[in-house]
Amino acid sequence: MKKLSHYNAAGDVAMVDVSAKEPTKRTAAARAEVIMAPRVIKALPTNKKGDPLQVARIAGIHAAKKTSELIPLCHQIPLSHVSLEFKIGARGIDITATAATTAQTGVEMEAMTAASVAALTIYDMTKALDKSIEIRNIYLLEKTGGKSGVFRRKAKE
């Protein structure tokens, strides 16, 4: 079995030491889905709290910048870019969050945190219309850079 990186020789939880690694350009993209009723989707442009997607964009960017404060063993890294895209469909909203850095460790957690918090923000902005809205399928789409190289999720069939 492969040794897990977040444990030290004594078996205690530990932050990975990346001090010997050279900084490299790294990117990541993550996805989340917000499933909602057609009537909620239709009401998005006239939401009384404001535009849920614009508020979610700001929340996602802010969350990416705060990832190391939320996930205990994440390194604080300098982000050079974070963006969020929203695609409204018949069943809800697909969120894609991307993040980039030049650092000693990857940016996957920042992208996934951005997608997750954006989804939660959309829920918060629309829950008055329907509390049964669901957040589903939060996952890494791709990552580049670092020792492990490129990862791209295979398309679901």
Give me the catalytic one of 12, 17, 94, 124: 124
CA dist 132 and 91 (Å) reads: 13
CA-based radius of gyration for the chain:
17
Residue 79's nearest CA partner among 44, 39, 109 is 109
> What does the alpha-carbon distance between residue 82 and residue 58 come to, in Å, rounded to a whole number?
10
What is the C-alpha to C-alpha distance for residues 107 and 75, in angstroms, rounded to an integer?
A: 10
Active site residue 124: yes
**What's the burial of 132, exposed, middle or buried (CB within 10 Å: 0-12/13-18/19+)?**
exposed
Distance CA 135, CA 116 (A): 8
* Residues assigned a catalytic role: 124
